[in-house]
Chain A
Amino acid sequence: EVQLVESGGGLVQPGRSLKLSCAASGFTFSNYGMAWVCQAPTKGLEWVASISTGGGNTYYRDSVKGRFTISRDNAKNTLYLQMDSLRSEDTATYYCARHREWSYFDYWGQGVMVTVSS
C-alpha cells in the first residue's frame, strides 16, 4: 500500500524558515517523480514544486521560486521542502504527492499545516 506521511509543519514568523518532510513507503520511491501541492484555508489546490526521480530536475511555481527548495533522499525514501523567507500568503496545508511522469498526482499524503504569522 502506498503511504506518504508528511511532517515538519507548524507556526512560524514571517521571514523565517521551515523544512517539511514526506516519508514514502509501499512503492519504489526512486522510480517516481514527487511533488508538493498546497491548499490555503478554505481555498483550492495549487501545485508548488516537483522533482524528478533522481533529483536532478526541479520545477517551481513562480510565487515560490528562489524561496522554496524541493529535494529528495532516495536512500531514505524521503521528500523534502525547504521553505525560506516565508510570507503570510504561504499559510496552507501542504500535501506530498506522487507525480506520475510529470502528469497527474496519483497518491497524496494526509497533509501538514504551515501557518505564517507574527
Chain B
Amino acid sequence: KAGVTQTPRYLIKTRGQQVTLSCSPISGHRSVSWYQQTPGQGLQFLFEYFSETQRNKGNFPGRFSGRQFSNSRSEMNVSTLELGDSALYLCASSLLAKNIQYFGAGTRLSVL
C-alpha cells in the first residue's frame, strides 16, 4: 500500500511569489493535516481537512490556505512568500479524524 505522497520534494521561490504544494493521502484515508517544521519552532499544525471541509486551523496568517478534493487529495497554498516561510511542509493522512496520522516525506521550501 502506497504511503503519503507529497510533491514536489524541493522548491525554491523568491519573496513575494506564491506556491502550491500537493499531498496524496494513503488510499482510503479521508483526513489530511498539514504541518510546518522549522528548526526554531518545531512541528506546528497548519490545518486539517476532512471530506473536503476544513475542520481545524492553526495559528498561521491568512496567506496560508488549503483545500481538499473529492478524492481526498489536498493542496496547500502560500501567497506572498516571506523569508520566514522557509521550512519543511509535512502532510499527514489518517483513516478518520482523530486516528493515527501517517506522514509524507515533506516538501522542502526555500524562500530567497
Q: Do A and B bind each other?
A: no
